[in-house]
Amino acid sequence: MKALTATDFSFPGQTGVYHGKVRDVYFIGEDMLCMVATDRISAFDVILPEGIPYKGQILNQIAAKFLNATRDIVPNWLLATPDPMVSVGYKCQGYPVEMIVRGYLCGSAWRAYKAGAREICGVRLPEGMRENEQFPTPIITPTTKAEIGTHDEDISREEILARGLVPEAEYILMEQYALALFARGQEIARQHGLILVDTKYEFGSYNGQVMLMDEVHTPDSSRYFYAEGYEDRFAKGEPQRQLSKEFVREWLMDNGFQGKEGQQVPEMTPTIVRNITDRYVELYEGITGDSFVETPTDDLAARIEKNICDYLQK
C-alpha cells in the first residue's frame, strides 16, 4: 500500500494552491476549488512524518456522505467527488473561527476541567462533573482557525463579536447551524450504535450566504463512543470505547509527544502505520455503516490528476 503525502498539480484554469495540514486545495477560476484529501496525518497541530494509506479516501468519502445527508439543514460547498480522494466545490470565504460542539466532557475539555477550569470559551460548566459525562445540553466552544505551525486557541462568543471576527447575525446563524448539524450527527450515530461526542464545523460565505465548508462528522473532526457499554463504563469510571482519531493522540502521548517544543515524534514503523490504516477502515465502516472498498494505490497522483481534469473539461 502506498500513501499520497504531497501533490503538485497544475490544472486548467488554476489560479492558486494551498497546502494545508492534510488537504491540498487547488483553486480553479474565481469561485471553484478542488480539495485533495491526502494521506498525511496530523496531531497536536503537527504533521506526522509518515502517511497513512487510504486515510484520504476514507475521510473524503465520509465527508461527502454527511455533506449530502445534511443539505436540508444548511447549504454546503460540495459539488462533486470526481475521485475517491477529491471533492470539488464552491470557493467560500472562510470565517476565522471553528465551531466546536461538545455533547460530553472529554478530551481537552476534560483535561482543563480536571485542572480546575469551570469555564471554557465563556461557557460555564457545572460543578461535580466526571470524565465522559454528558452535558445537560450540547455546548459550543469556538476556537480561532490556526495557520500551519500554530495552535488553535479557545475564544468566547463575546470576544469573537467584540473583535469583529464574524458579523453578529452570521455568527448567530453559525451557532444555530452547528447545533442542528450536531443533532443530526447524533441521530445518524445512534443508528450505527455510536454516540457522537464532539465535533468541529467550519463555515464560510459564498455569494452572501453562510455555507458549511470542509469536512463534517469525520473521525479527524469528530469523536465517537460506542453506545453499547457506555453507561456501564461511565458508572465504573472506566475509559470509553472510542471510534475517533484520539487513539493516535494517545499513542503519541504514551510515547512522550504532545507537540511541544523539543519533543520528538516517535518512530512510525510499518506495523504502526498499518494499524492506523486498519483503525481508519474501522472508523469508516462504523460511522457510515458501509463496507470500505479499497482503490488501487499504485499511482495515486496520476489517477487524481486525470479524474480532476476529466471533471473540469465537462
Q: Rounded CA gap, 226 and 230, in Å? A: 7
Q: What is the pTM of this model?
A: 0.88
Predicted pLDDT of residue 216: 93
C-alpha closest to that of 222 among 80, 46, 98, 68: 98
**What percentage of the chain reaches a pLDDT higher than 90?**
87
pLDDT at 282 over 70: yes
DSSP classification of residue 91: -
**Range 96-122 average pLDDT:** 96
pLDDT at 310 over 90: yes
Report the Cα–Cα distance between both ends of the chain, in Å, rounded: 31
Predicted pLDDT of residue 55: 96
**Range 232-260 average pLDDT:** 91
At 189-231, the pLDDT tens digits run: 999 999 999 999 999 999 999 999 988 998 888 999 999 999 9
* Domains of the chain in sequence order: 14-93+271-312 (3.30.200.20), 94-244 (3.30.470.20)
Predicted pLDDT of residue 244: 77
C-alpha closest to that of 61 among 279, 247, 298, 281: 281
Q: Rounded CA gap, 181 and 57, in Å? A: 23
Which residues are bridge partners to 120 per DSSP?
A: 123
**Range 67-83 average pLDDT:** 97
Altogether, the residues listed in the chain come to a count of 314
pLDDT at 136 over 70: yes
Q: Tell me how far the alpha carbon of residue 38 is from its chain's centroid.
A: 14
**Range 271-285 average pLDDT:** 93
Predicted pLDDT of residue 227: 97
**Range 269-290 average pLDDT:** 93
Predicted pLDDT of residue 243: 82
Predicted pLDDT of residue 151: 60
**Range 131-143 average pLDDT:** 97
C-alpha closest to that of 87 among 67, 106, 73, 107: 67
Predicted pLDDT of residue 116: 97
Helix (H), strand (E) at residue 139: strand 133-140
pLDDT at 277 over 70: yes
The letter for the amino acid at 7 is T
Which residues are bridge partners to 134 per DSSP?
A: 104
Q: Rounded CA gap, 28 and 22, in Å? A: 20
Predicted pLDDT of residue 147: 58
Predicted pLDDT of residue 220: 81
At 45-58, the pLDDT tens digits run: 899 999 999 999 99
**Range 150-170 average pLDDT:** 91
C-alpha closest to that of 4 among 59, 43, 52: 52
Q: Rounded CA gap, 314 and 312, in Å? A: 6
The pLDDT-based confidence of 246 (bands split at 50, 70, 90) is confident
What contacts 94, CB < 8 A, 6 or more positions away?
Answer: 145, 202, 203, 204, 213
